[in-house]
Amino acid sequence: MQVTNTHCTESAERLLEVVLSAAPDPRRFAEISSTIDCWDDLFHSALLHGVETYLHYCLMQAGIRLPAQLIERNERWLAIRNLWQTHIQGVLHDVLQTLESAGVRTVALKGPILGERVYPDPRMRPSADLDVLVGYADLDRATEALSSIGFRPRVDAEERFLRKYHYHTILSRSCPPVIELHFSLSDGFGVIVPAEEFLCRADVYRTSQGGVAHILAPEDELLHLCIHAAGHRFARLSWLCDIQLLLRRYPRLNWEIVIERARTLNVLASFLFTCETLRRRLAVPIPIIRHGVGQQLRTGAANFLLSMTARQPDPSRRALLGKIAFMTVLCDRPYAAFRFLKRQLLLIARRRARRHFPTLTPEEWLY
């Protein structure tokens, strides 16, 4: 894409993608950034996508002069982010230590540890909550252990619903963050991705605080980040930046292993679509992966659905239907697509029934 002073007539989001795609190449990044004159629009988009601190760092490293007012605003935001990061790191340390003491095998997903490992500064990777993976057999023990430090299900009915129809439960206490306690890696695209084999392959990592945590093996982490980003329809550019920086952290990652695991777990279509999205939006150099006409048709349909629903408010009926259609298109097999669609329509029908007949339906039908 040719970069000129007409940036302000373009989408701020597209401009942000162009800038971040050049981040691995300091010379090109500096050339592109030096032509920008609509910094407020760019940083507003970066804030919405959770990459404003990372963008600010890249610009400072390239020696780009920003407006004084913008620098002051970013420094205030960084101070707030620093306080939050210190807090959330402390909570994660307590959570992992509590689960280890209870004998629960645990993996820390995304969050502060990912930021610490792949970003220049962990504060550049915002985390609103904490994601922790445990085996399904350990779910009750993990929930009980975390209750000892104040984390409990918010509502019993919601807890019953999440255990039956979702891939994680939600635990909270009097102050943030909440914990998303995963007992599967994913349940989107018509399949459940069990936690157990990922837990068995997990690597040990020593945090900056001196604690010990388990993290996904690099190939597993790439797969997880890809299906997670696709499952959320790439609503935040930060999820693509996570993958971009992970690939820079592990340049010798074994793609054949990732593809085989994606195929075995029946999430290959969503994985390949994320790879294509990384190429298109952030110019990430993904190895050429052979795929058939079916995947090309899925990719075209998925891109069409994304563009059609991009401006729809969320939550809304159109956004929900667009999300369902998008994920149905990216199911690997027809039966998986049928199963996913059937479950989503059932949940919609149950919510409607709960709203119209609150005294005649179970409370968990609300969710």
DSSP code per residue over 230-283: HHTTT-SHHHHHHHHHHHHH-TT--HHHHHHHHHHTT-HHHHHHHHHHHHHHH-
* Residue in this structure with the two tokens 């999430």, named with its chain if needed: 267
**Vertex 225 angle, CA 219 and 227, to 5°:** 105
Q: 295 CB contacts (<8 Å, ≥6 apart)?
A: 269, 272
Q: Where are the domains of the chain?
A: 1-66, 90-216
Tokens, residue 43: 């940083």
Q: Please report, in tens digits, the pLDDT of each residue of the chain (367 residues total).
A: 444 444 443 589 999 999 999 998 989 999 999 889 889 999 999 999 999 999 999 999 999 989 888 888 888 888 888 899 889 999 999 999 999 999 999 999 999 999 999 999 888 898 999 999 999 999 999 999 999 999 999 999 999 999 999 999 999 999 999 999 999 999 999 999 999 999 999 999 998 878 889 999 999 999 999 999 999 999 999 999 999 999 999 999 999 999 999 999 999 999 999 999 999 999 999 988 877 888 889 999 999 999 887 776 677 788 888 899 999 999 999 999 999 999 999 999 999 999 999 999 999 999 8
Q: Which CATH class is domain 90-216?
A: alpha beta
- Specify the pLDDT at position 132: 98
Q: Is 17 helix (H, G, I), strand (E, B) or coil?
A: helix
Query: Does 122 sit behind a cis peptide bond, omega within 30 degrees of 0 on the bond before it?
Result: no
- How many residues appear in the chain? 367
Q: What's the whole-model pTM score?
A: 0.93
CA distance readout (Å), 86 to 50, 136, 149, 152: 18, 30, 18, 22
Tokens, residue 49: 């996508």
* Distance separating alpha carbons of residues 49 and 151, to the nearest angstrom: 28
CA distance readout (Å), 103 to 97, 138, 311: 10, 9, 46
* Distance separating alpha carbons of residues 48 and 157, to the nearest angstrom: 32
Beta strands in 49-161 (DSSP E): 106-109, 130-134, 152-153
- Specify the pLDDT at position 168: 97
